[in-house]
Amino acid sequence: MATLADDTVVEMRRSGDSRFVAFALLAPALLVVGLFFVVPLVLSAVGAFRSTEGAFTLAHFAKALDLYTRDLLFTIEIVVLSTLLIAAVAIAIAGYLTLGEHPRAVAILRWLYRWPLFIPFVVAGQIMRTFLAKNGMLNHVLIGSGLIAPISAQSMLDWRGIVVAFVWKQAPFVTLLLAGAMAALERQHIEAARNLGAPRWRVLVDIVLPQVRGTLLVGLVLSFVAMLSVLSVPLMINPNSPTMITVDVAYRINTFADYAVANALCLLSLLLAAFGAAFYLRHAVRKVEDA
Amino acid sequence: MTLAPRILPHLGRALVLALLAFAIFGPLLNLVLWAFAEKWYFPSKLPLEYGLTFWQRVFAPRGNALASLGTSIWIAVLTVIVSLVVAIPAGYALGRLKLPWRGLILLAFLLPQAVPNLPVYVNIAQVFYRIGLAGTITGVVLVHASHGLVLAVWIASAAFASVDASLEEAARNMGASVWTCFRTVTLPLAAPGLMASAIFVFLESVDEFTGTYFVGVPDVTTLPLLMFNASMGGNYQIASITALLLLVPSIAFMLVVERFLKADVLAMVGR
Amino acid sequence: MKVRILLLSIAALGLASIGPAAAETTLNVVSAGDQNMVDYVNNYLGPKFEQMNPGVKVRAVGTGPGDSGSQKIYEKLEAQEKAGAPKWDVDVAVVHQRGAATMVENKLLMKYRDQVKAGKLVSRDTAKNALGADVDGYVLPMFHSQIAFAYNPDLVKTPPKSFKELEEWVKKNPKQFGYNGVKGGMSGVGFVMGWVEASDPGMRNMFEKGPYDPKMKATIDKSLESLKAFNQYVVMTPGNAGTLDMLNRGEIAMGPVWVDMFYTWMSDGKMNPKVKLELPAPGLPGQPMYYVIPAKAEHADLAKKFIDFAESPEVQADGIVKQFNWYPGIDPQYVQSKMPPKEWNKLFTDITPADLASKGRPFPLSNYFTDIVEGYERVVLK
C-alpha cells in the first residue's frame, strides 16, 4: 500500500514537473502572440461593448446585426463553399500525385499546381477581377474557341468571383500539405489494395484519406479562417451588397470612423472562425486522447 | 477502333492537365501582360502597346523599390527565424508533452489569423509606439511573427507528434542526454515539417502590408505596401510588376528549402 | 555550415539594402490617394525641395487610395497621441476631407495656414470647411477633384445631361451605366449624394449650409426608394477604380468617376483617349486633397516650408495642372497667369469653368452625409 502511495506522489510530482517544462517551452511563443496580438485585440474588442459615455452596451451588436445579418450569412456561404471546393481540389490533386501511374503527368502536375501559392491575396483579387470580368480574358478565350456565344458571356464578379479567387489561391496551400502527408504513408497497404484490383478512387477514399484526415483538417481550418479575414479579395471583386464582413468592417471605419460597430462585426466574425476551428479542436483533442 | 481505348486515357489526361494549366496560368498570364502593357483598353482584347515604362517607374532611383524588396526579404528571413525559434519548443510541448487546455492553446495561436485585423492594428500600433518598437525592423518582424506563428506552431506540433517515441527511448537508453537526444534524433525527424512551415511563414511575411504600415512606416517600408496601394488604386501595371518581383524571393526560398530536404516535404504534418 | 553562410549572406544583403543611417534630416510625407501622388512627391517635389534645402531628404510613403488611406494616417497619428509619443513620425500628410475633419476634431493637427505665404492664395470654401467641420487654418488644398460621369462616345452618342435624363436613359440602355454603391469608395457615395440632392432642389442648400434636421431622413429615404428602382437598370462596380476598370474593358459605357483618377488612368494607357467627361445637372460633389501637419510633427518648420513650396503658383501650374491635368488647390487666377493659355485650357476640355462653378458641389454636412449613406444601406441594400 505504502509503495503505491509513494508511486502516486512521484507520479504526481513528475507530471507537475512536466507541466512546468511544457509551459516553459510554450512561454516564448505564447508571449509573442499574447503581447503583440491578444492584448491589442482585447483593447479593441472592449470598444464593441462600450457606449460613447463609456457604459456597457450591446447596441453596437444590435446595429451590426440589423445592418449586416445578410452579409454575415453571405460570408458563411462563401467561406463554407470555398472550403468544400478547396478540399475537393486538394484531394483530387494530392490523390493523383500519390496514386497516379503516369510519371510524366505526375511530374507536370507537381510543378503546375503550386504557382498560386506565391501570389498574395490582393494580387489574386486584382487578376481575378480582370480575368473573370464580362470582357475579361476567360470570356475572350471561351468565345474565341467557340465554346460560348458572345451574347451569353457574363461577368463572374459576384459571389462566384470571390469563390474562384479563394479556391485558386488556397487550394495549392492545402494540396501541398496533403500531398506531403500522403507521400509519407506506407505504400504496402496501397500496393496491396491495388493488387487486389481496387480502383484508384477507392484506394484514395478508403485507405489514403482516412490516414491523412488530420492534415487535411489543419489545412482547411487555416484556409477557412484566412478567407474569413481577408479584405482585399471581396473589396476588389464584389464590395457591393451582399458582401463579406471584412468589407463592412472597413466601410464602418473608413466612412464613419465607427470603430464600435466595426469591432462588433470583428467579434461576430471571430465567432464564425471559432466554429470552424472547433472542428480542428475536436480532432486535436481526440488525437491526444488516442496517444 | 482498336487504338481508341489505348489513346483515350492519354487524351483525357492531357485534356485535364491542359485545363488545369489554363486555370492556373490564365489568371497569371493576365498579371504578366499587365506588367508590360503600356496601352490596353476596350475594345482591344490584348494590350495595344507593350513596353518597359512602368518598370522604369518602379525602378526609378527615388522609388526605392529595390531597397524595399531587400527590406521585405530581410524581414521575412528574420520572421522565419523568430517563428521557428519560438515554435520549435512550443511545438514540442504541444506535440509530445501532456498539457491541460491543449486545444485552447492551439486556438490562441490561430487568433491573429482569425480576426479581420483592421481595427486591431490601431491598438497594435499604439502598443508599439509605447514600447519603442514602432518604426523598427524588430517591430515589424514581431508583428509578422505573431501573425504567421500559427502555421509554425501547428505544423511543428504535428511534426513532433509524429516522431516515433521508441526511437527517442532507444537513444536515451544508450545514454544520450535529453538535449542530445532531441538534437540528434527528434529534431532531424521533425525537420521536414518544420521546413515546410518555414515556407509558409516566409510567404505570409512577404505578403503582409497592414501590420508593416502601422508598425513600420515611414521608417520601414516594404514592397508589398507599394503593391497593395497600386493594386487597390487600379494601378495594374505597378501592382503586377511588384507582384512579379515578390515572386522571385518566394520561389527562391522554396527551392532552397526543398533542396535541403531532398524529399517531398510536409511528410508528417497533422498526423 | 553552408546554411550558416547562406543565412549570413542573406543578412548582409538585408543590411546593405537598408543603406547607411541617414545623417541628414528626413522629411516624412505620408500620402493617402493614388500611387501617382506618392510618385509626385518622390520624383517631382522631393528633388526640387532637396535642392533648395541642402541636407534635407524628402521621403514619401503612400497609404492607399480613397478614404481608407486617410483613415490609416489618422489611425497612425492617433496611436502616437495615445502612446504619448513626444515627436510624431509624420511631418506632412496628404488627406481627404473626412480624414482632415476627424483629425481636427481629435486635435491631431497643427494650425499652420497663417504661417505660410501660400496661405493667402487659397479661396475655395473647402479650405475652411470639410463636410461641415471647421478646418480653418489646419489645411491647404493640394488639388481639387471633382466627380463627373465618364462616358465612351462610341457607345453613348448623346449623354444624359441631368439625373432626370439619366433615369430615362438607363431604362433604354439597361446595364450600360455603372457605379460603385456606397461601400466601394467616394465616387459611388458622391453619386448617391448627387441623386438625393437632385430629387429636391430645396434640400441641396440645407445639405450644404445646414442646419441639420433629423426629420429630413424621411425625404432622403423617399429619394433613395427611387434610387433602388434605378439600380435595377445599372451595374454595380467594385470600387472607385472598379468603375474605371469596367469602362476600360467596355463593360459599362458610362459611370461616375473622380476626375483626377480618370486622367491618371488615361495617362497610364488604361483609358481610351476618346472617353469624355460630363458633369450632370444639378451637380455632383467634389473635394480637395489637403496638405496637413500633425500637431507634434518632428520637423514642423520644414513641413511648413515644404507646403509653402508645393502651394506656390509655379509648382501648382507646372506640377498639378500641367503634369496631371488636375484642378489647382490654390485660387486659379494665380495659377493661370503662370502658364500658357493652351495648357491651362486643357483642364476644361470636357467640363467648362462655368459648369464647374455651378455644378461642382461640396459634399453634404457630415450628419446629412451619414443619414444618406446609412439610409442607402437600410433602403437600397436591404
CATH number at residue C54: 3.40.190.10
List chain A residues with CB under 8 Å of C236. Answer: 240
**Residue-level pLDDT at B166:** 84
Q: Subunits with at least 3 CB pairs below 8 A relative to chain C?
A: A, B
Same domain, yes or no: A102 and A213? yes
CB contact at 8 A, C131 and C365: yes
- Residues 206-235, chain B: which have Cβ within 8 Å of C? 213-214, 217-219, 221, 225-226, 228-230, 232-235
CB contact at 8 A, B148 and B204: yes
A107 touches chain B (CB under 8 A): no
| Amino acid present at C96 | H
Same domain, yes or no: C139 and C150? no
Element (H, E) at C233: none
Q: State the nearest Cα–Cα gap between C115 and chain A, in angstroms.
A: 30
**Residue-level pLDDT at C5:** 52
Same domain, yes or no: C207 and C178? yes
Same domain, yes or no: C264 and C337? no
Collapsing DSSP to helix, strand or coil, B204 comes out as helix
A95: left (phi over 0), alpha (psi -120 to 50) or beta: alpha
Collapsing DSSP to helix, strand or coil, C178 comes out as strand
Measured between CB atoms, which of B20, B99, B123 is closest to A40?
B123
What whole-number distance in Å separates Cα of residue C354 and Cα of residue B223?
A: 44
Same domain, yes or no: A186 and A277? yes
**Residue-level pLDDT at C18:** 47
Same domain, yes or no: A97 and A43? no
Same domain, yes or no: C174 and C280? yes
Question: What residues does C277 pair with on adjacent strands?
Answer: C150
The answer to whether the Cβ–Cβ distance between B233 and C241 falls below 8 Å is yes
Q: For A26-65, how does the pLDDT look when each residue is reduced to its tens digit (9 = 90+)?
A: 999 999 999 889 999 998 899 899 988 889 999 999 999 9
User: Residue A253 sits in which domain range?
Assistant: 59-290
Same domain, yes or no: C43 and C132? yes
> In sequence order, what are the residues at sequence separation of 6 or more whose Cβ sits closer than 8 angstroms to the Cβ of residue A185?
A98, A208, A211, A212
Q: Give Cα B81 distance to the centre of its chain.
A: 13
Q: How far is CA B103 from CA A212, A283, B151, B271, in A?
A: 19, 9, 15, 16
User: Residue C102 sits in which domain range?
Assistant: 2-144+287-352
ipTM of model: 0.88
Tally of structural domains, chain A:
2
Q: What is the pTM of this model?
A: 0.90
Q: How far is CA B188 from CA B135, B167, B168, C68, in A?
A: 37, 12, 12, 47
Same domain, yes or no: A30 and A107? no
What whole-number distance in Å separates Cα of residue A86 and Cα of residue A172?
A: 8
List chain A residues with CB under 8 Å of B147. Answer: 37
CB contact at 8 A, C204 and A204: no
List chain C residues with CB under 8 Å of A251. Answer: 182-183
Could you tell me the end-to-end alpha-carbon distance of chain C, in angstroms, rounded to an integer?
Answer: 63
In a domain, A54, yes or no: no
Q: Which of A96-100, A127-131, C137-141, C362-366 has the highest mean pLDDT?
A: C137-141
Question: What residues does C212 pair with on adjacent strands?
Answer: none
Residue ranges, CATH 1.10.3720.10, chain B: 65-261
Same domain, yes or no: C62 and C98? yes
Measured between CB atoms, which of C102, C181, C250 is closest to A257?
C102
Same domain, yes or no: C262 and C374? yes
Cis status, amide bond into B218, omega within 30 of 0: yes
CATH number at residue A254: 1.10.3720.10
What whole-number distance in Å separates Cα of residue C112 and Cα of residue C130?
A: 16
A123 touches chain B (CB under 8 A): yes
Q: For C215-273, how does the pLDDT look when each residue is reduced to its tens digit (9 = 90+)?
A: 999 999 999 999 999 999 999 999 999 999 999 999 999 999 999 999 999 999 999 99
Same domain, yes or no: A98 and A165? yes
Tally of structural domains, chain C:
2
Same domain, yes or no: A18 and A66? no
CB contact at 8 A, B225 and B190: no
Same domain, yes or no: A169 and A82? yes
Q: Subunits with at least 3 CB pairs below 8 A relative to chain A?
A: B, C
Higher-scoring residue by pLDDT: B42, B9: B42
**Does the pLDDT of residue B92 top 70, yes or no?**
yes
Question: What residues does B71 pair with on adjacent strands?
Answer: none
pLDDT (mean) for B209-229: 90
What whole-number distance in Å separates Cα of residue C302 and Cα of residue C293?
A: 10
pLDDT (mean) for A135-159: 89
In a domain, A88, yes or no: yes
Q: At how many degrees (to 10) do helices A137-144 and A121-131 cross? A: 40
The answer to whether the Cβ–Cβ distance between C182 and A255 falls below 8 Å is yes
Q: What is the CB-side half-sphere exposure of residue C297 using CA atoms within 13 A?
A: 24
Same domain, yes or no: C15 and C113? yes
Measured between CB atoms, which of B38, B60, B217 is closest to C61?
B217
| Amino acid present at C169 | W
Q: For C124-159, how does the pLDDT look when each residue is reduced to its tens digit (9 = 90+)?
A: 889 999 988 999 999 999 999 999 999 999 999 999
* CATH 1.10.3720.10 is right for the domain spanning B65-261: yes
**Residue-level pLDDT at B109:** 92
